[in-house]
Amino acid sequence: MNSFPSLLESISDLDKLQIDALLSLASKFKHRESESTLFTYKRPIIATSFLENSTRTKHSFAIAIQKLGAMYIDFNAETSSLKKGESLEETFLTLFNQGVNLCIFRGSVSHQLSQFRENPPIKLINGGDGVNEHPTQALLDLFTLIEMEPNLEGKTLAIFGDNIHSRVGHSLCKLLPLFGMKVILCGPKHFLPEQKQLPVGVAWSDNRDETLAKCDYIYLLRIQKERHDPEVAASDSIDYHNTFGVTLDQLKRMNKLIPVLHPGPANIGVELDHALIKSSLYKGYEQVQNSIPMRMAIIQSMLVNNDKNIGIINGEKF
Ligand code: CP
């Protein structure tokens, strides 16, 4: 895994061999067949810096970091010098020069980490950037799917909901076709990307029942009201449950008792009902459990990549 990238912004930053290696290492961590190989004497320091709210991603990274034996700091952007106008690059260089080896960053601006592609000021993992991608969520989702069915070739996963704003949806559309899966994006037309923008292996539909009939796995998304016009968002949730929400009764009626995944947070009464989230079809808690070994695998692979091109200050020398 020596070529593992020092910036994981997108699923496109990884090749299939690296993804296979992550799945294998995550499985070993989960079943305690592998120990952390992080240094015992010089413990790495890893920071999370979340400029948007999070329950799952931030805490599972914090747990993964500590299970690996690294030191953990939570960089609080609200009380940092970012609020005094310091740039993200200067902030990351400051953390690097304090000895921080890796930062997991979440922000509301899409592609914000792309500026560091050539010269990363610090090793970086994207914990969700605007409406772009959430690669570590997609990887742990794939890990969860493979636990249920090791050969996903030819299987179809339907993603219901606010596909246009879903960063994990965008990552899944890049990731799952690499494993032979088909993806159908389903929702009202204003939640769907244009057909011509879809990658190979990805289709869309605005018909919930037809899509449910065709798929092997259901993946539900919440409506990302914070990224919508507030008036449209209010009316969306009322109509949405009737037209695109999925209920346990409906799956029983259709004889479609298939796994239901959700990245969380889930809005009960909107994209799914209470009976479904409490049923054994719901895999959201398995995804949460799998987030820790998968994030341990990602962190360890990045930390041991031997990249010497980190934190270099490019400029004139005097
Ligand atoms: N899945 C996910 O990103 O959840 P959080 O927003 O709680 O981190």
Q: 105 and 206 in one domain?
A: no
Candidates 57, 139, 168, 226: which one to mutate for ligand 1, based on the most atoms within 8 Å of Cβ?
57
Do both 32 and 160 map to the same domain? no
Residue 269, sorted as left (phi over 0), alpha (psi -120 to 50) or beta, turns out to be left
| 146 and 251, same domain (yes or no) | yes
Q: Is residue 145 located within the same domain as residue 278?
A: yes
Pocket test for ligand 1, best of 53, 56, 58, 267 (most atoms within 8 A of CB): 56
**Claim to verify: residue 120 and residue 143 sit in the same structural domain:** no
- Whether residue 259 sits in one domain with residue 180: yes
pTM for this structure?
0.95
Instruction: Say yes or no: CB of residue 57 within 6 Å of ligand 1.
Output: yes
Dist. CA 29 → ligand 1 center (Å):
22
Query: In angstroms, how far is the first alpha carbon of the chain from the final one?
Result: 37
CATH number of the domain within which 239 lies: 3.40.50.1370
In the reported structure, the alpha carbon of residue 291 is separated from the centroid of ligand 1 by a whole-number distance in angstroms of: 11
Pairing relationship of beta strands 100-107 and 123-129 according to DSSP bridges: parallel
Total domains present in the chain: 2
Q: Are residues 144 and 269 in the same domain?
A: yes
SS (H, E, C) the chain: CCCCCCEECCHHHCCHHHHHHHHHHHHHHHCCCCCCCCCCCCCCEEEEEECCCCCHHHHHHHHHHHHCCCEEEECCHHHCHHHHCCCHHHHHHHHHHCCEEEEEEEECCCCHHHHHCCCCCCEEEEEEECCCCCHHHHHHHHHHHHHHCCCCCCCEEEEECCHHHCHHHHHHHHHHHHHCCEEEEECCHHHCCCHHHCCCCEEEECCHHHHHHHCCEEEECCCCHHHCCHHHHHHHHHHHHHHHCECHHHHHHCCCCCCEECCCCCCECCCECHHHHCCCCECHHHHHHHHHHHHHHHHHHHHCCCCCCCCCCCCCCC
* Structural domain boundaries enclosing 57: 7-134+289-303
Per-residue pLDDT for the chain (318 aa), expressed as one digit of tens each? 459 999 999 999 999 999 999 999 999 999 988 777 776 668 999 999 999 999 999 999 999 999 999 999 999 888 888 888 999 999 999 999 999 999 999 999 999 999 999 999 999 999 999 999 999 999 999 999 999 999 999 999 999 999 999 999 999 999 999 999 999 999 999 999 888 788 899 999 999 999 999 999 999 999 987 777 766 665 666 689 999 999 999 999 999 999 999 999 999 999 999 999 999 999 999 999 999 999 999 999 999 998 999 999 888 888
258 located within any domain: yes
Residue 314 maps to a domain: no
- The Å distance, Cα 55 to ligand 1 centre, comes to 6
Please check whether residues 130 and 159 belong to one and the same domain.
no
Please state the atom number of ligand 1 nearest to the C-alpha of residue 57. Answer: 8
Contact between residue 281 and residue 299 where contact means Cβ atoms under 8 Å apart: no
Which pLDDT score, from 0 to 100, does residue 78 have? Answer: 82
> Are 62 and 160 in the same domain?
no
**53, 54, 227: which to mutate for ligand 1, most atoms within 8 A of CB?**
54
User: Based on the domain organization, do 115 and 172 belong to the same domain?
Assistant: no
**What residue has token string 């820790």?**
292
Q: Is residue 310 domain-resident?
A: no
Distance CA 151, CA 281 (A): 20
Residues 61 and 109 in one domain: yes
- Give every strand in the sheet of 7-8, ordered side by side: 7-8, 123-129, 100-107, 45-50, 71-74
Give tens-digit pLDDT for 231-271: 666 566 668 999 999 999 999 999 999 999 999 999 999 99
Q: What is the pLDDT of residue 317?
A: 85
Distance 288 CA to ligand 1 centre (A): 10
Q: Is 312 part of any domain?
A: no
**Length of the chain, in residues:** 318
> ∠168-300-52 over CA atoms, to 5°?
35
Assigned domain for 55 exists: yes
